[in-house]
Structure 1
Amino acid sequence: MAEAVDPPFDRPDAGFNALEGWTWIGCYGGYYLQADLLIDFEHGFFTRQWEGRGPEVLAGYVSAGVSVHRPQQVHSALVLPASAASAEPWPQADGLVSDAGGQSLWVCGADCTPVLLADPVSGRVAACHAGWRGVAGGIVLRAIERLEAVGCRRQDLLVALGPAVAGERYQVERSVAERVAAQVAPFADLERVGAVLPDAEGLAGHVRLDIRAAQQLQLLQAGVDAEHITSCPLCTVAEPLLFHSWRRDQQKAVQWSGIVSQQLDPDLVNLD
């Protein structure tokens, strides 16, 4: 069995496994990132080092004998039950919620935020692809609503926001940030928490948008406990050895993130 080597950090002085609240998991295929908050759930945020291996292969690195579920992502706020996304042609959506045990739910991205949710009480999980359109459309909130519809409580939910573009590297038109603010919090509040920053280049009509900070604020505004949210500090643009980035490279290449549902209580109502 081949021995895994350390991930190729672009910041060698940062140190291996020095990310507070996050851990690199080594296996014979390489390393993938886990959120310590979701330690009781099999999951992984993969890097560009796994390029060429999709969910059908990656699922075997985080669990055994699980089914694979993924959407055809279209930058929407649509969330589907996992059973509706179990084979090609993959349905168009950007979020999935488990409706059985042993399901691995997958989303991909190359700057947008992969969001993995887990309910430690029921064992249900969800996975969302949250770009600015997803946050503006409330995709993660829709996933939470689907979980609540089958008996989950939002105060129990655990949420991990994976590697994504950092705010200082994400230049957008001010109108984009305003659309996000319309669904999250007043524009001034986004500025106060650092979700909106002045444009470093001073380009008129533009700002810098920290989509993870905006997503986190949206979750807090919706009543999710701050201690139940963790956000990865890694930036996809700033780490070319670790991550694909559309903003940096303008190439269609992605990394995958997935989470596995636990055995569900048969008495719980199925998602429709």
Structure 2
Amino acid sequence: MHTWHWRTWQGLPYLTCSLLESFPHGFFTQQFVGKPPQELTKVLQPQASGYRLKQVHGNIVLTPEEITHKLATGGDDVDGDGDTALVHGDGIASNMSQQAVWVASADCTPALIADVNTGAVAAVHAGWRGTAKKIVPVAISRLLAQGSKLGDIRVALGPAITGEVYQVSIETAAEVGDSISPETHPHKIVTSLVEQANSPILPDPEAGKARLDVRRVNVIQMENMGIAPEQIAIAPYCTFQTPEYFFSYRREREKKVQWSGIVSK
């Protein structure tokens, strides 16, 4: 069983996972609001360089080198200019040492991924849209393309909204469920998944609605790739139900985020 630990930095709490214990990493709380990734990198590894993206709820995973190149050359997928410019994407995969990769989330799933053999890492923002497009498998595939092996991958899924309180439309549930179901019709996708043991889709009393466990869908996607359950850890915290530590868009209807990051070795 993987354990989760609360750490503090200057009295502020952040969460770590035993599965990633050999990597500087953290799922930071709302108490760190106002501290950008460059500052948070100093908490984890002062010598590392930090990287982030403008998240767009897709499945684009870039390397820090690709981010640097895009910032230098510009294009439609770059917002802003100068020091504030950001490249569009929802995941960063690094196989160079001393690179801190960051994602922001409120109710969406932050996934931190590490290769315990090569020291490569990835950080992924997996909301329901990105999960429907299999962003976590895309990120893992980038690491595999860089020389990682499936058996060396470890994945910690951080605090996110849980299925018991995440009400979505049947259409949304089906769009996400389509990534793990052989069915093609939306209602058949949802029905087939609801009937599964430990299902990622739960029934909802309201007509046309369902409850969606996005983290569980990500786990099934990874298991379908050949990753064993013991290589995956899920944080025992729901952002919606833990207001003392985490922002939740569903709860507050305000666009606030907390950051999660990991440093390559």
Normalised TM-score (structure 2): 0.88
Shift of 1:191: 4.6
| 8 Å CA contact 1:168, 1:197 repeated in 2 | yes
| 8 Å CA contact 2:95, 2:146 repeated in 1 | no
| 8 Å CA contact 1:191, 1:197 repeated in 2 | no
3-state DSSP class of the match of 1:123? coil
- Tell me the alpha carbon deviations over residues 166-212 of structure 1, each in whole angstroms, 9 at most, x when there is no partner: 1011000011111111112353245522310111xx21110000111
| 8 Å CA contact 1:78, 1:94 repeated in 2 | yes
| 8 Å CA contact 1:185, 1:218 repeated in 2 | no
Mapping of 1:65-144 within 5 angstroms? 65-86=47-68, 88-144=84-140
Shift of 1:54: 1.1
- Structure 1: stretches of 5+ with no match in the other structure: 1-18, 263-272
Q: Which residue of 1 aligns with 2:236?
A: 233
RMSD over aligned CA atoms reads: 1.5
Tell me which amino acid in the other structure corresponds to 2:41. Answer: A
| 8 Å CA contact 1:25, 1:32 repeated in 2 | yes
Query: How far apart are the structure 1 equivalents of 2:213 and 2:140?
Result: 22
3-state DSSP class of the match of 1:85? helix
Query: How far apart are the structure 2 equivalents of 1:119 and 1:155?
Result: 9
Matched, 1:224 2:220: no
Mapping of 1:1-272 within 5 angstroms? 21-86=3-68, 88-186=84-182, 187=189, 188-189=192-193, 191-192=195-196, 193-199=198-204, 202-262=205-265
Shift of the 190–115 alpha-carbon distance from structure 1 to 2, 3 Å rule, reads: farther
Q: How many residues align?
A: 242
3-state DSSP class of the match of 1:219? helix
| 8 Å CA contact 2:61, 2:138 repeated in 1 | yes
- Tell me the alpha carbon deviations over residues 208-235 of structure 1, each in whole angstroms, 9 at most, x when there is no partner: 0011111111111111111100000100
Runs of 4 or more consecutive aligned structure 1 residues displaced over 6 Å after TM superposition: none
| 8 Å CA contact 2:2, 2:233 repeated in 1 | no
Deviates more, 1:24-33 or 1:225-234: 24-33
3-state DSSP class of the match of 1:31? strand
- Structure 2: stretches of 5+ with no match in the other structure: 69-82, 183-188
Q: % of aligned pairs identical? A: 43
3-state DSSP class of the match of 2:219? helix
Query: How far apart are the structure 1 equivalents of 2:95 and 2:152?
Result: 18
Normalised TM-score (structure 1): 0.86
